[in-house]
Amino acid sequence: MAKTFHLTVAKVGENLFDGEAVSATVPGVEGVFQVLAGHEAFVSELAAGDVRVTTPDDTVHSFTISDHGIAEVSYNQATILL
């Protein structure tokens, strides 16, 4: 089984995703990046676009960011604020 990390995707007033994920593809302001387990500590502002999250059972969740997002990765856990 692929390594996982804990991912939280939240927007104001709502928790969109909270659980283990294999990978997350996120639109950063300097280009799209992918977060996998063991990613180094990292903070980024996000551009408009889609966040795609792959869970261990291979389902893909997709969330749309309009603007103003923040992503933070540390200690094998990631937080994405839309």
Partner 1 sequence: MALKDIKTKIHATERTHKVTRAMEAVSAVKMRKTQSAALAGRSYARAALSILTRLSGTENAKRHPLATHRDGTKIALVLITSDKGLAGGLNSGVLKRAAEALGKRSIEEVTIYAYGKKGEEYFTRRGYRVARAFENKGDDVPLAVMEELAREVSDGFSRGDYDKVITVYSHFKSTFEQVPTMRRLLPLSLGALKDIVDGIIPAKGKWSHETPLEAPASYEVESLSGDVLGTLIPRLIAVALYHMLLEAKASEHSARMVAMKSASDKSKEVVHDLTHLFNKIRQAAITREVSEIIGGREALAT
Residues that bind partner 1 (CB under 8 A): 6, 8, 10-15, 18, 28-30, 40-45, 68, 70, 72, 74-75, 79, 81
Chain centroid to CA 48: how far? 14
Minimum distance, C-beta of residue 54 to partner 1, in the bound complex (Å): 19
Minimum distance, C-beta of residue 68 to partner 1, in the bound complex (Å): 7
C-alpha–C-alpha distance, residues 50 and 75, integer Å: 24
- Backbone angle region of 50, left / alpha / beta, with phi > 0 → left and psi within -120 to 50 → alpha: beta
Minimum distance, C-beta of residue 56 to partner 1, in the bound complex (Å): 17
C-alpha–C-alpha distance, residues 43 and 58, integer Å: 26
Residue 23 or 44 with smaller CB distance to partner 1: 44
